[in-house]
């Protein structure tokens, strides 16, 4: 299956192409260069050198003109180390790509290919992976114009029948078949996903999706927050993907932090579906933790772009906490003030230095309170093993052991899981927050006492 899954690595040279029209729109050459750098770093490429080409317009055959392409070739030859790839900040047509590879004699990657590579590395679910692979194949398909270098990008699995036209035809047919197969598989995976989600709701763990721009510090935050606290023996969590981390809030509520793929400025249209597929955690989360790099000069624009995507995903209404990250690099208090005023539930932190965590954990706990309810539960002796489950999942406020069983007042996650054992509903009940998928609390009378 996953022929295109081989990820970018090795040493690369970055070529930022800045057009006059970009600069008119307030997107400087420096902004483009920073973005390319961040994407390259996210993909795992080792940056050896960077070039910025400012142009009025692009050329159809070489994007940046033949002369400039030759300059880049010299630059590659002048390096002390062997270069593996040249990354372009713009998209390349198949003609441009093959012409450039002719001159440079090295693999080239354009903006869409680079973004897809980042997505491929960050897509964790089956659906996400398939969606990204589909986008990769669809993007590469029209680019199969007989260039050896390009075919090799698809790995060794396809078209071993020999060179020339015949091989090309086999490649095309192979890829077309693969595209169909992936689409079929996506159908099946979507069905299974619905079932998995139900399971997660039954286990009543609040999930917090960590979102934000590429390089905002999402993974760093997750690591320093939960690094020492990942439970090794919790079976539920070992079945989830590796970027999920369990965390216990001060009120003893267990939550799950889920890392997501980073946002990207001006995402190419053909990638929106793949991007959204990698963001399915967002749709299913109870709460969003938005990590914003306030040291980034484009932080305001990034903020707007994140909200724009959340709107498209229909998740703008979800409770959200914003971590104003990288304060350790921010010298001006006004910058922090600006974002604090602009956003509700925003806390300045440094994911790297581990500062400010208490503040935003408290806000998260507060926000999740709406998802917790206080109830009176009665567990008969025959089901006594459920008592320890209550201690694990919630916070026990009162406990009374009687002849018939155990009477407990506890704060528990507001799913329907315990409904069959509740004897008296307490404060906060009935306010179960309706999730985006509308499934919470749907468990009816028929499922009474289904905890086991």
Residues that bind ligand GDP (CB under 6 A): 42, 212, 214-220, 262, 325-326, 328-329, 350-352
- DSSP letter at 258 equals E
Closest CB to ligand GDP among residues 271, 387: 271
The CA distances from residue 292 to 137, 212, 245, 322, in Å, are 32, 6, 20, 7
Asked if 223 touches Mg ion (CB under 5 A), the answer is no
- As measured in angstroms, the least distance from the Cβ of 42 to ligand GDP is 6
Q: Which residues have C-beta within 8 Å of that of residue 338, sequence separation ≥ 6?
A: none
Please state, in angstroms and rounded to a whole number, the distance separating the CA atoms of residues 437 and 178: 32
Closest CB to Mg ion among residues 154, 294: 294
- As measured in angstroms, the least distance from the Cβ of 306 to Mg ion is 15
Please state, in angstroms and rounded to a whole number, the distance separating the CA atoms of residues 440 and 428: 15
Q: How many CA atoms lie within 13 A of 194 on its CB side?
A: 8
- As measured in angstroms, the least distance from the Cβ of 215 to Mg ion is 8
- As measured in angstroms, the least distance from the Cβ of 347 to ligand GDP is 12
Residue of 94, 219, 283, 407 interacting with Mg ion (CB under 5 A): 219
Query: Which neighbouring-strand residues pair with 348?
Result: 324
Residue 289 in contact with residue 260, Cβ under 8 Å? no
Asked if 46 touches Mg ion (CB under 5 A), the answer is no
Asked if 121 touches Mg ion (CB under 5 A), the answer is no
The CA distances from residue 233 to 169, 199, 205, 246, in Å, are 51, 19, 16, 11
Residue 106 touches which of ligand GDP, Mg ion, none (Cβ within 5-8 Å per kind): none
Please state, in angstroms and rounded to a whole number, the distance separating the CA atoms of residues 91 and 111: 5
Rg (CA), the chain: 26
Residue 279 touches which of Mg ion, ligand GDP, none (Cβ within 5-8 Å per kind): none
Hey, what are 165's tokens? 């036209």
Closest CB to Mg ion among residues 158, 211: 211
Sign of the dihedral defined by the CA atoms of residues 22, 25, 27, 28, in that order: positive
- As measured in angstroms, the least distance from the Cβ of 219 to Mg ion is 3
Residue 325 touches which of ligand GDP, Mg ion, none (Cβ within 5-8 Å per kind): ligand GDP
Query: Residue with CB nearest ligand GDP?
Result: 217
Closest CB to ligand GDP among residues 61, 295: 295
Of residues 179 through 218, those in contact with Mg ion by CB under 5 A are 218
Hey, what are 166's tokens? 């015949």
Closest CB to ligand GDP among residues 329, 423: 329
Residue 204 touches which of Mg ion, ligand GDP, none (Cβ within 5-8 Å per kind): none
Q: Give the DSSP H or E segment for 377.
A: strand 372-380
Closest CB to Mg ion among residues 221, 320: 221
Residue 113 touches which of Mg ion, ligand GDP, none (Cβ within 5-8 Å per kind): none
- As measured in angstroms, the least distance from the Cβ of 143 to Mg ion is 28
- As measured in angstroms, the least distance from the Cβ of 48 to ligand GDP is 18
Please state, in angstroms and rounded to a whole number, the distance separating the CA atoms of residues 148 and 138: 18
Closest CB to Mg ion among residues 219, 231: 219
- DSSP letter at 404 equals S
Please state, in angstroms and rounded to a whole number, the distance separating the CA atoms of residues 437 and 442: 11
Asked if 93 touches Mg ion (CB under 5 A), the answer is no
Closest CB to ligand GDP among residues 245, 326: 326
- The residue ranges that bind Mg ion (CB under 5 A) are 218-219
């Amino acid at each position: 299956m996953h022929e295109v899954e081989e990820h970018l690595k090795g040493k690369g040279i970055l070529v930022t192409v800045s057009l006059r029209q970009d600069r008119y729109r307030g997107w400087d050459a420096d902004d483009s260069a920073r973005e390319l750098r961040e994407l390259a770093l996210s993909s795992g490429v080792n940056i050896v050198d960077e070039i910025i080409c400012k142009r009025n317009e692009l050329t159809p055959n070489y994007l940046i003109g033949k002369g400039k392409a030759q300059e880049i070739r010299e630059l590659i030859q002048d390096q002390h180390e062997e270069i593996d790839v040249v990354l372009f900040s713009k998209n390349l047509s198949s003609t441009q790509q093959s012409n450039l590879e002719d001159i440079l004699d090295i693999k080239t990657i354009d903006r869409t290919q680079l973004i897809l590579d980042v997505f491929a590395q960050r897509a964790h679910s089956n659906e996400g992976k398939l969606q990204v692979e589909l986008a990769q194949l669809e993007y590469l398909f029209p680019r199969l114009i007989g260039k050896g270098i390009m075919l090799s990008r698809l790995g060794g699995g396809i078209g071993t029948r020999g060179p020339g036209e015949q091989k090309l035809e086999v490649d095309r047919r192979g890829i077309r078949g693969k595209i169909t197969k992936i689409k079929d598989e996506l159908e099946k995976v979507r069905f299974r996903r619905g079932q998995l989600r139900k399971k997660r709701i039954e286990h009543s763990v609040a999930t917090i999706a960590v979102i934000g721009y590429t390089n905002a510090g999402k993974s760093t935050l997750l690591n320093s927050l939960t690094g020492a606290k990942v439970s090794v023996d919790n079976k539920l969590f070992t079945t989830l993907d590796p970027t999920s981390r369990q965390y216990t809030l001060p009120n003893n509520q267990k939550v799950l932090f889920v890392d997501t793929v980073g946002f990207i400025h001006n995402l190419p249209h053909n990638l929106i579906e793949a991007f959204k597929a990698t963001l399915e955690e967002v749709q299913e989360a109870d709460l969003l933790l938005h990590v914003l790099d306030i040291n980034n000069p484009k932080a305001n624009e990034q903020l707007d772009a994140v909200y724009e995507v959340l709107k498209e995903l229909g998740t703008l209404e979800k409770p959200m906490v914003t971590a104003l990250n990288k304060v350790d690099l921010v010298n001006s208090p006004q910058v922090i003030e600006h974002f604090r005023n602009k956003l509700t539930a925003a806390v300045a932190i440094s994911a790297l230095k581990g500062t400010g965590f208490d503040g935003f954990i408290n806000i998260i706990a507060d926000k999740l309170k709406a998802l917790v309810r206080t109830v009176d539960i009665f567990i008969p002796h025959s089901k006594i093993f459920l008592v320890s489950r209550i201690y694990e999942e919630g916070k026990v406020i009162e406990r009374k052991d009687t002849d018939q069983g155990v009477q407990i007042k506890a704060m528990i996650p507001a799913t329907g899981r315990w409904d069959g054992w509740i004897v008296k509903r307490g404060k906060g009940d009935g306010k179960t927050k309706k999730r985006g998928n509308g499934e919470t609390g749907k468990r009816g009378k028929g499922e009474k006492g289904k905890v086991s």
